[in-house]
Amino acid sequence: MIYIAEVELPKGTLLKGRYVVERSLGSGGFGITYLCMDNVVGEYVAVKEYFPKLAVREGLNLVIPRQYDIQEHYTRVESFLDESKIASKFVDVRIVRQTDSFRENSTAYYVMEYVEGPTLVQFIRSNGPLKAQEAVRIAEEISLGLRSIHDAGFVHGDLKPTNVILKNERAVKITDFGGASLRDSFFMPLHAGVVSLHYSAPERFVRCIMPTAQSDIYSLGGVLFFLVSGLDPVPAPDRLKGIAMADPPTNYRLRRVIRKAMAMAMSDRYQDILQLIRALRKRLF
């Protein structure tokens, strides 16, 4: 039995008899995303593979570490596929479209549209912080995407600058629904226990507290903070310890929006995404 150290699928690998791997687009703690050619429609797509840390390959097959519980592994594979099912429910040009999912190589995959463009992190690192008007325009587009998610009865749960792609420097695409869950539900998604240090709301750091619409609003406030400053906001756990978050370098009216969106108490934030959208539109100047 030979295990290979290289975890990424080699170029030319054929998945489901139609998706040909071109290269890796990136990886995280739960998976690897590939650029693939869809031989059926003749277009590039992005294919995400469930591949947890410490896993290895035997040929193309995923082999889980010995310390993993086999039943837990299968549960996580199901949750990974649930991520695709959740994302496929959203019909909005601001949300990356999911098109397919399948099992293969002892793991699972889902397919989504391939969007060319930098993440917000990549864009800000290359171009520097944005002026207030442009930051508000992008934040409003993200808000409208979140509205579609919330109206469908879900929350994103892991909104941050790396999960928003900027297409043609104008349109936004929200991606990565590993933290998504039904609102007012006890359903525990794959990434429910994973938080983003600088962008997750304080309640997310409390064990078993599921994300809410107010959690997404806090995260969006953090994204807006990043857009105008180029810096990550102070983590919520540090703020709970009394470490103050400095106001970002922007005008007073926009600072007020960011402060309210990122209020530590859920009741002090905008109570739904429409309130935040209205506040942003008042500050388009």
Express each pLDDT in 153-175 by its tens digit. Answer: 888 888 999 999 999 877 999 98
Alpha-carbon distance of 20 to 163, in angstroms, equals 24
pLDDT of residue 186: 34
* Residue 15: half-sphere exposure toward Cβ, Cα within 13 Å: 31
Question: Is 176 a known active-site residue?
Answer: no
Looking at the whole model, is its pTM more than 0.75? yes
Question: Given pLDDT bands bounded at 50, 70 and 90, which one contains residue 180?
Answer: very low
Q: Which of 27-41, 56-70, 208-222, 232-246 is least confident? A: 56-70
What's the distance, CA 282 to chain centroid? 27
Q: Which residue has the higher pLDDT, 116 or 82?
A: 116
Q: What is the pLDDT of residues 68-88, one digit of tens each?
A: 777 878 888 888 888 778 778
| Mean pLDDT in residue range 88-108 | 91
The identity of residue 85, as a single letter, is K
* Residue 6: half-sphere exposure toward Cβ, Cα within 13 Å: 7
| Mean pLDDT in residue range 230-255 | 94
Domains of the chain: 14-113 (3.30.200.20), 120-282 (1.10.510.10)
Mean pLDDT score across all residues of the chain? 87
pLDDT of residue 184: 42
pLDDT of residue 193: 53
CB atoms within 10 A of CB 241: 8
How many percent of the chain have pLDDT more than 90?
63
Catalytic residue among 38, 100, 158, 176: 158
Residue that the structure tokens 């009865």 belong to: 153
Residue 256 contacts by C-beta under 8 Å, 6 or more apart in sequence?
none
pLDDT of residue 3: 42
